[in-house]
Chain A
Amino acid sequence: MTDLATHVFTGLGVLFFLAGSVGFLRFPDIFSRLHALTKADNLGLGFIALGVAFQAGSWRQVALLALIWALVLLAAGTVSQLVARHALRERDGR
């Protein structure tokens, strides 16, 4: 049962990473590509962490997985703003 949950959730996670990568390759400009990377990869990692959590042996491992996801979420939200801001400045020649 827990193995099934792991398969389902990590599978979903891989699908979102795949979709994010496809968006990164197909989308026309840097800003649209950032949408794909931040939003899809956030879900990809979230689902993979959720799937792996079903294999965890202790509460601490679950908390560590949650912490990893939360930190990546924080980093993705911050870094995408910085990249977008820089790209906009460069485009506007400032």
Chain B
Amino acid sequence: MRNYIIKRLIYSIIIAWGILTITFVLLRVGPSSPVDRYILNIAARGQDVDSVKQAIEARYGLNKPITEQYFSYMGNLLQGNWGWSFSASMPVLELIGSHWIYSFQLILLATIFAIILGVGLGMLAAVKQNTKFDYAASIFSFIGISIPGFWLGLMLILVFAVYLGFFKTYYDTNYPIWSLENLKQLILPVMALGIGELAGYVRYTRSAMLDNLHKEFVTTARAKGLPESTVIGKHVLRNAILPLVTIIMFDLGSVVFGGAYLTEIVFGIPGLGQVSFNAIFADDYAVVVAVTLIGTFLVLFINLATDLFYTYLDPRIRYE
């Protein structure tokens, strides 16, 4: 078991290094340069564009061959120096440090929302198979899966913020993170991000529950005189949860890398998604690489955690 974890950690580092390298190279071989954004200002001030450009490039080492830049970036990274953000004019680590919480709260709340409601509705739909409730849950989940999150976000803003006026149309950073106002203004973003996931979980939970609902051990549980809530909520759910964990953890990756970015942009939440979105347009490669790297580690960590969680959930699974 310990060897397995060590092996997996080594793999994780190799994967993260590969992704880091690809991201770095792709950004640096593009036609534009981080310096481009200064050029308009320089030209407007009537200075000599070329000499200033060379000076900036020399200062940040951008004139060196790409391999050399790569090795110096890697060297800095290994010493804990994540580089300098040209667009924000501050160290990358500081930039991420002041923005990560906005992404984190959104992803955490949306995931909790989707899991609790999705698994709950899915269980009910399975127990009430072929009833009106089941059909309604099916229709809801098909719609939920089909609607793109960003479009749903825009519609939620239009209806609940613009027409009904229940919420502000934008995310207000003046409220402290731990405040009710902040929680309230997260309701729409959490729904926009969570409903797609929720809809999927309803379907998956329903079918995983149905797979186990007619197994012999369920009859045994009833024959023991257990109440129906224990039969369903313990004996069936505990067996159904294994495929669910795979799907939920897998989805978390796409939430981190996809859904959350778009939701942040639609609602104007200054999280890492928006930071990296802005950085891409500003050719701020150090920020893009850093945000990508954090996401990569997160997904790899989630995958490892899932695999280890399996051994707890299903005692028949053991890793060598």
A in complex with B: no
